[in-house]
Structure 1
């Protein structure tokens, strides 16, 4: 059986619904050798996942999904083997989360202008703890509870996603800056779910800028896109990664996809590790 890793999962540290230990348990049940914890703009779930994984046979890869904006849309860059215990790196992520909070405020205001009785306070009560790293799925859940929509997908299609009636995009770092932030911290930088962007020119521009890898295997990449990204990865010697983008459960359904359903082989993990180790040593 080929050794596989899910390199894109979220926990309660950002907009997932599972504790980090649950992600580790699901990875073990799926027969994976490794799982990456890649919460949005935070490494807050990594330590707990590593503690839960001790002696389990599952490696936890410390990761992060950095939010940026390019050509008017959200672009996400995954960082692997990042220094999750480093205070300076953590501080840089704090600024990114503050921008996310501003985005949420603008989005809620836009929904209110549309006559929807939603409040920031009611959305934020969905997240416990002091680090309220709220994302659009939390807002979508509130819209469902209010009876405005019947599903997460409908919430994004009508209101929250690109082209939705309430979609907003406050100033954020550019994807090139996200790549640089990850690389300067000693991590490996990979473009997340390129199929979502519908902008091959931008993807190629970021490859030329200095990506280490591209997420070829993702639930939102169709067969034609996977074929195209594979060709570009081979052409530019990029690591081909894969991940489920698991955010836990929305009702009885996994969101985006079940942990372990989209993966990358051990060889991809080892290449990412090698890139990060060389970068930390100042050789890359």
Structure 2
């Protein structure tokens, strides 16, 4: 038996947001890795879910419809994953469209900041770098800007581009008004989904993580993530136990840029498919 049978990766991105692969490609890669299920969790859009589910039917793999919503709390960007959301809920789709508009506003301001730093790139170059037409329900993200920075020699790779220019503490970063984690969690629940706090270790502030868990009350927490080490996994597993939260795992796969997979490959962080029943009903086993 393949060691990954009965396992799922609950955090992957496609080119519907800032991933490099098509939704169908993600599903095929999950099949190749021997997974039983994979979630499509693009930023502020569910545009890739239908294609992924159709490919899942062909491959015989369970595709979990999902989304990753951008929020702001405690002076930091906080991401909330939503699983089994309705991809046809008009109110939810309109809300996601508003979030993408905010992302577009931020992108324009970041490009302007880069130009002020004498980094000569344009939004037209960023969109052109996609190699295809950008659909209305898709969005451009910082990794797309990083691609242009690398191709024009302003950074040596993706991580360097974020460290030098695009990361939260970097000179070209722009913070725009965003909804709170509580609002995102309410939206997900109203769309029939189950909210999970994404990659808490990235925020570098466990007091803030606890505050979000206590005030916004997500149903779960992403304990296992490509950017979590053993210490983080143990810490967030303990929090999951303390708050009776669903425990999830995800690679946060974005595909390969400049030959480097970002954050991790599909299947590099997995959990038993038994968690899917918890996500469907919105609560951990008692």
What TM-score do the two structures reach when normalised by structure 2?
Answer: 0.93
CA–CA separation in structure 1 for the residues paired with 2:270 and 2:74? 29
- Structure 1 equivalent of residue 71 of structure 2: 68
Q: Is 1:177 aligned with 2:180? A: no
- Give the superposition deviation at 1:87: 2.1
Number of aligned residue pairs: 276
Work out whether residues 89 and 191 of structure 2, in 8 Å CA contact, stay in contact via their aligned partners in 1: no
- Structure 2 equivalent of residue 129 of structure 1: 134
Q: After the TM superposition, which residues 129-278 of structure 1 pair with which residues of structure 2 at under 5 Å, given as runs? A: 129-131=134-136, 132-209=138-215, 210-275=217-282
Q: Is 1:21 aligned with 2:24? A: yes
SS at structure 1 position matched to 2:10? strand
Q: Tell me how large the CA RMSD over aligned residues is.
A: 1.2
Work out whether residues 157 and 258 of structure 2, in 8 Å CA contact, stay in contact via their aligned partners in 1: no
Which 5+ residue runs of structure 2 have no aligned equivalent?
Answer: none
CA–CA separation in structure 1 for the residues paired with 2:182 and 2:89? 22
Work out whether residues 30 and 267 of structure 2, in 8 Å CA contact, stay in contact via their aligned partners in 1: yes
- Structure 1 equivalent of residue 43 of structure 2: 40
Question: Runs of 4 or more off by more than 4 Å in structure 1?
Answer: none
- Structure 1 equivalent of residue 34 of structure 2: 31
- Structure 2 equivalent of residue 88 of structure 1: 91
- Give the superposition deviation at 1:167: 1.2
Work out whether residues 12 and 42 of structure 2, in 8 Å CA contact, stay in contact via their aligned partners in 1: yes
Which 5+ residue runs of structure 1 have no aligned equivalent?
Answer: 277-284
SS at structure 2 position matched to 1:169? coil
- Give the superposition deviation at 1:55: 4.0
- Give the superposition deviation at 1:88: 2.0
